[in-house]
Homo-oligomer: A and B are copies of this chain.
Amino acid sequence: MSSDWPAYVQNLGKSARRASQQLATLTDAVRSRTLRTIAAALRDQTAALLAENAKDIEAAKQAELAAPLIARLQLTEKKVAAMAEGVEQIAAQVDPVGQTIEGYNRPNGLRIEKRRVPLGVVLFFYESRPNVTSDAAALCIKSGNAIILRGGKEAFHSNRKIVQIVADALKASEIDPAAVQFVESTDRTLVPLLLKQDKYIDLVIPRGGESLIRLVVKESTIPVLKHFTGNCHIYVDKATAGMEQQVVDICLNAKLSYTAACNAVEHLLFHKDVAPALLPKVCAALAAKGVEIRGDDRARSLFTAAKAATPEDWDTEYLALIAGVKVVDSLDEAVAHINEHGSHHTDAILTTDLSAANRFVQQVDSASVMINSSTRFADGGEYGLGAEIGISTDKMHARGPMGAMDLTTYKWVVTGAGHVR
């Protein structure tokens, strides 16, 4: 560990706090204009950004990173244009700051108002997609927060360039560039130091593998909003007469439309009454698309090509062309299985029975509960939040997809006329 790190980290926090105090007083006109300047600069400097990105790609190839990882890292003119467009969309959103959440007069004439204000300073850990850098910076500027970015080391050069573009735009708007800072080292010993800056940082959002998130939770004295990935389920209820084709379509969509997404389905539960008819049909359709089926004994008796699932399978988020399949005796057994083995991210019921749908919604303890739709809809864009900073698997503060509004807190503003108690 560099002996300079403690001072470096404290300075990051202090300067971010100072910048956040300025940001909190800016109008949305200034914040949104700055975002449009950033978008324009991303377009203007595409070539320079691609040159920096090429350094990351070269290093990734030399380190023999897997092809899908390199693909996520790689920027193109089209991807940079999409980044710029994303920033403009965030600029166009309704201002999340200053809204009155509640306002009322008390019997003694005191006026009470609960008013939305920025959180302050956000520390954001994320992996290797460079577009996340511009999205996160834009969401924080829009919501009046300062942000400290710590991206994956694979994207170091790309991220540094993006943050430089952002800093130039901030300066042009006479905003303290410390509003968006980038941790200028990939040294891991910095991480525990950052996580102790509770005097200056209000929130940590770690997006990444489970081990990173566990480390952050263990070391942090700052509140953490976790973004664990999803072990999502679809339960096919006994009341599915007439919707057999929907069952097949939804299971295929949820597994295959983006298999590596956290809202992709991993496990399918079939009620015993409909399993003989539906389970083989769904499994055959998945297998035809290259999905490996792992089943419990009853599932395997209905779809003999299935491998035997191990107990670990039910707790596993595959993010791959694998699906666990199980037959259950009742809706209660499905709910109990999901609450025990799921990750409280997104779970769906397919049914025509209103009462079954209501019980499932009430009892499944997940951020998103879907009725007759694909788990893939659990997404900030699909929910109409605009860009998302993450999908919270926590229950505190924000749950499920998080947009700019979820980066705010509130302040009680109490107005009297000489009131004493």
Show the binding face of A for B, using Cβ within 8 Å.
21, 24-25, 104, 106, 110, 112, 119-120, 198, 202-203, 217-218, 221, 223-225, 243, 246, 249-250, 252-254, 257, 339, 357, 361-363, 365-374, 376-378, 382-384, 394-397, 399-401, 409-421
Do residues B420 and A374 form an inter-chain contact, with CB atoms below 8 A?
yes
- How far is A420 from B245 in the complex, measured between Cα atoms in Å? 12
A413/B361 contact (C-beta < 8 A), A110-B377, A418-B250, A419-B373 known: yes
Beyond A223-B224, A369-B413, A411-B368, is A418–B363 a contact (Cβ under 8 Å)?
no
Q: Given the interface contacts A365-B120, A400-B412, does A420 sit within 8 Å of B384 by beta carbon?
A: no
Report whether A110 and B412 are in contact in the complex, using a CB–CB cutoff of 8 Å: no
Task: Please tell me if the beta carbons of B110 and A243 are within 8 angstroms of each other in the complex.
Answer: no
- Known pairs A223-B396, A382-B110; A362 contacts B25 (CB<8 A): yes
Interface centre among A257, A339, A362 (most CB of B within 10 A): A362
- Inter-subunit contact A416/B371 (CB<8 Å): yes
Q: A223-B223, A249-B420 are in contact. List 11 more A-B contacts (CB 8 A).
A: A24-B363, A119-B395, A249-B418, A369-B411, A369-B412, A370-B415, A372-B416, A377-B416, A378-B412, A383-B412, A399-B410
**A223 touching B419 by the CB < 8 A rule?**
no
Complex-state Cα separation, A382 to B401, whole angstroms? 34
| A415 and B367 in contact, given A396-B202, A396-B223, A421-B382 (Cβ under 8 angstroms) | no
- Taking the closest CB of chain B, its distance from the CB of A26, in whole angstroms, is 10
Q: Which residues of B are found within 8 Å of A414, using beta-carbon distances?
A: 368-371, 373, 377-378
- Indicate whether A374 sits within 8 Å of B411 (C-beta atoms), given known contacts A25-B363, A362-B25: no
Question: What CA separation (Å) do A217 and B223 show in the bound complex?
Answer: 9
Q: Are A373 and B249 in contact (CB under 8 A)?
A: no
- For the complex formed, measure the closest distance between the CB of A265 and the CB atoms of chain B, giving whole angstroms: 12
Q: How far is the CA of A117 from the CA of B211 in the complex (A)?
A: 29
Of A221, A249, A376, A383, chain B has the most CB atoms within 10 Å of the CB of A383
Tell whether, in the assembled complex, residue A377 and residue B223 are in contact, meaning their CB atoms are under 8 Å apart: no
Closest to A358 in B: B413
- B373 with A412: CB separation less than 8 A: no
A368 nearest in chain B by CB position:
B412
Q: How many angstroms between the C-alpha atoms of A368 and B112 in the bound complex?
A: 10
Q: How far is A418 from B253 in the complex, measured between Cα atoms in Å?
A: 11
Q: Which of A203, A339, A362, A395 has the most CB of B within 10 A?
A: A395
List chain B residues, Cβ under 8 A from A363: 21, 24-25
Contacts of A224 in B (CB 8 A): 223
Pair A203/B368 contact, Cβ less than 8 Å: no
**Pairs across A and B, CB under 8 Å, 28 listed:** A21-B339, A24-B363, A110-B377, A223-B224, A223-B394, A223-B396, A225-B396, A246-B418, A249-B418, A250-B419, A253-B421, A361-B413, A368-B412, A370-B415, A371-B413, A371-B414, A371-B415, A372-B415, A372-B417, A373-B414, A373-B419, A374-B419, A377-B414, A377-B416, A378-B412, A397-B397, A399-B410, A400-B412
A395 / chain B contacts, CB cutoff of 8 Å: 119-120, 202-203, 409
Give every chain B residue within 8 A of A203 (Cβ-Cβ): 395-396
**A376 surroundings in chain B (CB, below 8 A):** 420-421
Closest to A98 in B: B362
B residues near A252, Cβ cutoff 8 Å: 420
Residue of B nearest to A263 (CB): B421
Q: Which B residues touch A367, using CB under 8 A?
A: 411-412
When A363-B25, A365-B21, A396-B409 are in contact, do A370 and B218 touch as well, CB less than 8 Å?
no
A170 to B367 CA separation, bound complex (whole angstroms): 28
